[in-house]
Copies of this chain bind each other. A is one copy, B any other.
């Protein structure tokens, strides 16, 4: 099998979409991450779910556990509200890493090695011009492999 055989269509967002929309798209589609595309549908960022969540956590809280602990339960339940209409571009790290992409003809072992190396449970499969073909989730990869036959 090749990457394009198991790639699926997934909803994407752009950098000008609100972070709240990005989190919602990921949750509703039960995706383990999110692909942020540019105006030509080329992946610009491939964010693991934890890093989509990170967009929504106010920067001051990201690195200071003591500060986070000082927030009372009621306020902590509503930290999302603080986000308002801030966009993905406004909340993303200034130096975003190269998007995690792979060729359509890559093998499933290449997909697995890339996911493991990049710590990314979602990877974008792209055409040679960089445009998006689809996405492969960790779950899809595992269920596509013969893993269920190697034990028991």
A residues sitting closer than 8 Å to B (CB atoms) are 1-2, 18, 20-21, 23-24, 26-27, 30, 32, 48-51, 53-54, 56-57, 61-63, 65, 68-69, 71-73, 75-81, 83-85, 106-110, 112-121, 138-139, 141-143, 145-152
Contacts and interface: CB of A to CB of B under 8 A. Distances in A.
6 contacts: A57-B109, A68-B109, A68-B110, A76-B110, A78-B146, A84-B150
B147 A27 contact: yes
Contact of A73 (B1, B49, B120, B139): B1
A58 to B, nearest CB: 9
Contacts of A141: 53
A64 B121 CA distance: 19
Contact of A116 (B53, B84, B118, B148): B53
**Prevailing SS type, chain A contact patch:** helix
B116 A50 contact: yes
A103 B34 CA distance: 29
A20 B152 CA distance: 9
